Structure 1
Amino acid sequence: MGSHGKAARWFPNLSHNHRSSSSSASRNPRPVTPPPTDVAASVEIPREFVCPISGRLMADPVIIVTGHTYERSCIQACKDLRVVPPGAGEVSAADLLIPNLALRAAIFNWCGSRGLDPPQAVDPSTAKLFVRDLPSSSPPPSATEGERGRRSPKTSIDLSPQIFHSPTNSSSNVATTTSSSSSDIPPSDQISPSPGLGLSHPLGREILTGLKAPQISEQEEAVRFLRSSTRDGSGDNRVALCDEKILAALRPMILSRYPSLCLHAVASLVNLSLHPPNRVRIVRAGLVPPLVDVLKNSAVPEAQDHAAAVLFSLSVEDDNKAAIGVLGALPPLLHLLCRNQAEERTRRDAGMALYHLSMAGTNLSKLVKQGAIKSLLALAAAPPAEAHSLPGLALMIVCNLASSREGREAMIEGGAVPALARLLRAVPPAAAAGRDSEVELKKEYCVAALYSMSKATMRFRGIAQAAGLEEVLRAVDQEEDAAALAEEEDGEAGAPERAKKRRFREMVKRTLRATCGIAAGDDDDGGSSSCGSGDTPGSQAFGTYSEPILRMHSSSVNAHAHGSNTTQF
């Protein structure tokens, strides 16, 4: 959004602050909102309050998946005209627009403190004129499909998260990812509503009346009633009560200084989010920033527990993944996952949220920059007695990070190869462990992450050999071949399980080849103890490098979730 360290003048230069072509600006001068008072002409406007497309104060700012904020009608015009928004790189206007309530409140408060009228929304026809007036406003060839293809490794193996980088040191980024206090949130009637069901349900009207009551006791009674009403497993109330007006009334309660109000409001969101169609509606209602605030600042552990559960539930929805990351949920979730003092269920919910969020390319880069790799590897090495299911969950997230080039490079630099080699070396043999599911998952994810890194850089071989990885992988290779032979004789394992084990054995062998510096297919030796061994041709075993990771994900996520996202409160 330009140079955020300076302020913009309201008049007369505001219309040219975001123009890259002076000739274009003089040829098609952009209209500027006239100052409401004589004093306004000399007022300096913070850059983050100004839409990069219109050059005006934003009346209805919304966030797109890249983390940038624009006036709603302007970004909608970009979408309609298939024009890339300025500053958004190769990403076209996103389908999901999240209201930036914190920034909107800041703009309205700023205007009020200076005696200025609040900004008015740009009408659609004027917004299209602004978009057509942008430099280089030709549409990208297939930007929309490209963006959709990078949402998750499930839909696109070749991730390119670097396309989605959002500014990390700009004041607009602070405004985007920071929750406002309850006193800063504008009244619900000033917020642009997302499409909802309409409050036609009598129970909903009764609850909404209580939520808006002036007395705290009445508000608490209403939010308790909402919580109990949405606990019903039938789901009917969850559909009827996930209304935009009720959601808007819950926002200040989540940020309330009264712990009971916050606790019951967040617990109600847990119940509402259990109905899958409600998940996108909750995010669009602007409830992620208050939940992030609870994770960061709440002194009530139970409220943090519920907030982590809500974010876990919301993160399952593909359309929410990038938005939740943009809204600042990644750092507090990572902190909560790695905090030993937190309850294991809370940490597990935070970890499951991170696992799902790390499937979005936009979030991979953010996690790498936040130092997630070091924290996750430390958690993966924790003694099982301290956190039974968390080490395996940490490795699941590490595998997702290894699916991106930036993640692999950061893992190489951050000592992930020797760390994973130590973890593999510490895994007890199958005979001693009885092929415990947690032990097996830990081994599988260590190998999967190493396999991804083995294809990332020429440095892998030297680092792996220095860490003694070859010896460790030989032992795993021999153990898995022996186990496969025993299972074949028993005939107890089903076809899906045998296929999964076959993919894992091939992944071990390929990683061993890379450690020894032998390309796949360079040898024909079938011995399992030698580098380059393998009973399946490399190109035929399992598609591209990240596919075995994803296939194992599908079978092991539920083992770590333990039903957390179906818990009713």
Structure 2
Amino acid sequence: MGGNGKHRWILSFSRASSPSPKSKKGPKEPPKEFTCPISGSLMSDPVVVSSGQTFERVSVQVCKDLGFCPPLDVRPPPDFTAVIPNLALKSAISNWCESTGAVHPPPPDYTSVEKLVRQKIPNAGESGTRPIRVSERELLKCVAENPPPVIHTHAVSELAQRVSDRFCSGSSEESVIVAETPLSLKTRPCCYSSSSSSSEFFDFETLNPTRTRSPNFQPNPEEEELVLKLRSRDVFEQEKAVSSLRNISKTRPESRAALCTLRILSAIKPLLVSRYSSVQVDATASVVNLSLEASNKTKIVRAGTIPYLIDVLKGGFSESKGHAAGALFSLALDEENKMAIGALGALQPLLHALRSDSQQTQQDSALALYHLTLMNTNRVKLVKLNAIPTILEMVKSGNLASRVLLILCNLAACVEGRTIMLDSNGVEILIELLRDSKGEGLESTRENCVSALFSLSQGNFRFRSLMKEVNGMEVLREVEKRGSQRAKDKAKRMLEMMRERDDGMCGSSVDWDAFLESGEVRRTR
């Protein structure tokens, strides 16, 4: 080398270009939430199941096909009956792969996942599987295998008017926005029975006709007779069966749990879309009566009845539509059913039913939408269906104002809903309703109206300027003086909030035009 500086530089450069210790390391391990709890691999198509957990889609399909629920350390136990794509997690996994240089996971092979799941099956019999629990199996299976036929509108049934005492209003401690000032609605049928059966036998004969019943099985003669007639091809037999089921489930509340079996529900589903008015009306009324038992609500949904009720609501007989709306309302009272009912497409038909000619159908549809929109995913879906302008128009016309205002309170709980309500003159419409609703019997409307305004006021500077335009401060002061205690509390809080903002802006001028356009406040001394 002879001490040549150039050669020393070349040698130094060569050493610097050698692989660093960091580059020799393998790819990073993916976060635990990115891996499927069943297959243990990075998820390619993550989906949310009915119980709220996320799995790889192929893993869920394998478990459903095998009728097996792997023993996982999660609560609640996995329920694979319905799946919804988890787009947010899929995007997060994609971003993680790009940032770490990991390979985007391809869809897993069905056969390899099946082998993995079968290894987890303890004491597998000849079939290699053990039966999955009913709650983890039956939500959409029957719907996928037996899609409901298309039905058409027919003449109004000649049957007697529906019973008027089926539903009544009550009070609730449920709140949409503010827990300490609950809204004045949680309704339930007045014939609701708190009694429930502690046991239930589910027969899977309709899904697996070759299955052998347990030697200890004792058939219920009443159930056997009903199932036989419900499945008959003779319309007169069907009429007698659904009429009998409707009468029993109405007059004998203690029998509702015993009669809500998979065999009866499977047999009654086709009759919900019967072309014979008497059959369709009594079938939908029977579903309503069975749903009054609290323990039956999830069973009815998981038996696949929701698509049939939706089809009745879309094109059934007039009386049947009222029963279908009532059934959806009753089923929506159960927290576990809210997501499934919204995901299966009930929101649009219920929104359309708000304009029905039947007042009972309108009310039950409004109550169903109220309870469904207590879940945020259903709120966003209803906002995307452009429901807010329709509901505001109903409020403006005074049609079912007290009930639909409760739906608006729920929709205002999401950012998208508040924005559209403000863009649709929601503040002006609500203030005008408060000015007009001063007569007796309208106190609930005033309370719900103030609740909707309170929801709109949360964290929104634009609300303040819109209130000033319609002189809403004066209306709120009137409510603070003469309204109910609940309305007074919310009106007072809104006035205090707007006064605080006025004090905070004292000594500065605000460019309101620029603020309304950009959403930012610009102050100048």
Q: 1:285 aligns with which of 285, 288, 303?
A: 303
Q: 1:510 aligns with which of 485, 493, 504?
A: 493
State the match for 2:405 in structure 1.
395
User: Residue 105 of structure 1: CA displacement?
Assistant: 2.9
Deviations 1:131-189 (A, max 9, x none): xxxxxxxxxxxxxxxxxxxxx9759979xxxxxxxxxxxxxxxxxxxxxxxxxxxx932
Specify whether residues 236 and 476 from structure 1 end up closer, same or farther in structure 2 by C-alpha distance, changes over 3 A only.
closer
Paired letter, 2:437:
V
Specify whether residues 419 and 297 from structure 1 end up closer, same or farther in structure 2 by C-alpha distance, changes over 3 A only.
same
Specify whether residues 216 and 463 from structure 1 end up closer, same or farther in structure 2 by C-alpha distance, changes over 3 A only.
same
The aligned runs of 1:32-71 (5 Å cut-off) are 71=61
State the match for 1:100 in structure 2.
140
Paired letter, 1:329:
A
The aligned runs of 1:292-307 (5 Å cut-off) are 292-298=310-316, 300-307=317-324
User: Residue 310 of structure 1: CA displacement?
Assistant: 0.9
Paired letter, 2:489:
E
State the match for 2:182 in structure 1.
none
Please say if residues 176 and 413 of structure 2, whose CA atoms lie closer than 8 Å, have aligned partners that are also in contact.
no
Give the RMSD, CA atoms, in angstroms. Answer: 4.1
State the match for 1:373 in structure 2.
388
Please say if residues 251 and 290 of structure 1, whose CA atoms lie closer than 8 Å, have aligned partners that are also in contact.
yes
Deviations 1:505-531 (A, max 9, x none): 2311222234456379999xxxxxxxx
Paired letter, 2:383:
V
Q: 364-373 or 67-76, which moves further after superposition?
A: 67-76
Please say if residues 451 and 490 of structure 2, whose CA atoms lie closer than 8 Å, have aligned partners that are also in contact.
yes
User: Residue 66 of structure 1: CA displacement?
Assistant: 10
Specify whether residues 62 and 454 from structure 1 end up closer, same or farther in structure 2 by C-alpha distance, changes over 3 A only.
closer
Deviations 1:444-475 (A, max 9, x none): 11111111211132211122212221222233
CA distance in 2, matches of 1:392, 1:270: 24
- The DSSP-based 3-state class of the residue aligned with 1:188 is coil
The aligned runs of 1:163-562 (5 Å cut-off) are 188-189=206-207, 200-232=219-251, 234-298=252-316, 300-337=317-354, 339=355, 341-383=356-398, 387=399, 390-428=400-438, 433=439, 436-437=440-441, 439-480=442-483, 501-516=484-499, 518=501
CA distance in 2, matches of 1:267, 1:331: 22
Q: Relative contact order, CA 8 A, sep 6+: which one is greater?
A: 1
User: Residue 230 of structure 1: CA displacement?
Assistant: 1.4
CA distance in 2, matches of 1:67, 1:280: 21
Please say if residues 142 and 304 of structure 2, whose CA atoms lie closer than 8 Å, have aligned partners that are also in contact.
no
Specify whether residues 91 and 205 from structure 1 end up closer, same or farther in structure 2 by C-alpha distance, changes over 3 A only.
farther
Please say if residues 227 and 265 of structure 1, whose CA atoms lie closer than 8 Å, have aligned partners that are also in contact.
yes
Alignment TM-score, normalising by the size of structure 2: 0.59
Paired letter, 2:451:
A
Please say if residues 65 and 322 of structure 1, whose CA atoms lie closer than 8 Å, have aligned partners that are also in contact.
no
Paired letter, 1:507:
K
CA distance in 2, matches of 1:156, 1:463: 21
CA distance in 1, matches of 2:337, 2:266: 18
Specify whether residues 479 and 502 from structure 1 end up closer, same or farther in structure 2 by C-alpha distance, changes over 3 A only.
closer
- The DSSP-based 3-state class of the residue aligned with 1:214 is coil
Specify whether residues 503 and 345 from structure 1 end up closer, same or farther in structure 2 by C-alpha distance, changes over 3 A only.
closer
Specify whether residues 408 and 86 from structure 1 end up closer, same or farther in structure 2 by C-alpha distance, changes over 3 A only.
closer
CA distance in 2, matches of 1:514, 1:62: 41
Specify whether residues 459 and 394 from structure 1 end up closer, same or farther in structure 2 by C-alpha distance, changes over 3 A only.
same
Paired letter, 2:350:
L
Please say if residues 469 and 515 of structure 1, whose CA atoms lie closer than 8 Å, have aligned partners that are also in contact.
no
Please say if residues 402 and 444 of structure 2, whose CA atoms lie closer than 8 Å, have aligned partners that are also in contact.
yes
Alignment TM-score, normalising by the size of structure 1: 0.55
CA distance in 2, matches of 1:239, 1:391: 36
State the match for 2:124 in structure 1.
none
State the match for 1:183 in structure 2.
none
Please say if residues 220 and 260 of structure 1, whose CA atoms lie closer than 8 Å, have aligned partners that are also in contact.
yes
Specify whether residues 62 and 261 from structure 1 end up closer, same or farther in structure 2 by C-alpha distance, changes over 3 A only.
farther
CA distance in 1, matches of 2:314, 2:286: 19
Identity %: 33
User: Residue 377 of structure 1: CA displacement?
Assistant: 1.8
Please say if residues 306 and 341 of structure 2, whose CA atoms lie closer than 8 Å, have aligned partners that are also in contact.
yes
CA distance in 2, matches of 1:275, 1:452: 34
CA distance in 2, matches of 1:520, 1:235: 60
User: Residue 302 of structure 1: CA displacement?
Assistant: 0.5
Deviations 1:350-381 (A, max 9, x none): 11111111112221111111122222222222
